[in-house]
Amino acid sequence: MDKDKENLIQEIVQGMESWSPADILYFGPLRRAVSLYGPVTRETVFPLISQILELEHREPGKPIRLHINTEGGSLSDALALYDALRGVSGPIVTVATGMCASAGLLLLSAGDLRLATENTLFFYHEPILPLEEIISKKQLNETVKAYDLCKNSYEKIIKERTGMSDELWLREFDGETSKYFDVKTAIEYNLIDDSIEAAEKVLK
């Protein structure tokens, strides 16, 4: 790992105050950290985008940290948050914890430094589009086009951000409908740069 990423890890380990839609007073902006705990939806993403843009406005160029614990959700909302994260001038640190699934992998890849706590579970599946309202062959054909667009956008971002080769993607991810893996494997895939290990306890 290069020196810049090591320095970012040290800054995180020293402790930063967080900020979440559910508890602004507790999390707060002083430590420049926001949290996504739950599904990726318009309701969960909008406050995060607002907070990220506000943090960038207050102190442009300084790091912003996003903690992620999600089972996934809306790809379009994940793309909106991804673009917001990539649109600020300072480095983004993404920290996966608990579960990082589906659209969560896209958000994780937005980080200039990507970390995970040691017991994080990761989950990948190909994008899913709702089919309940399809009532014609033309609509089905357009849905197939939309599916391909979503799938290609998702894969392109993750492969570019992780440096994953087409060969590795085809072997490990292409066509998978349910793929779980752990932190060690996420490092091997270069989905994360490093893990955050449990701290040593000082007993008095």
Catalytic, 18? Answer no
Catalytic, 102? Answer yes
CA–CA dist 11, 9 (Å, integer): 5
Q: Which of 18, 20, 102, 109 is catalytic?
A: 102
Q: Which of 125, 136, 153, 178 is catalytic?
A: 125
CA–CA dist 140, 33 (Å, integer): 42
CA 197 vs CA 97, 98, 155: distances in Å: 12, 14, 29
List the one residue out of 97, 33, 96 whose CA is nearest residue 62. Answer: 33
Catalytic residue ranges:
102, 125
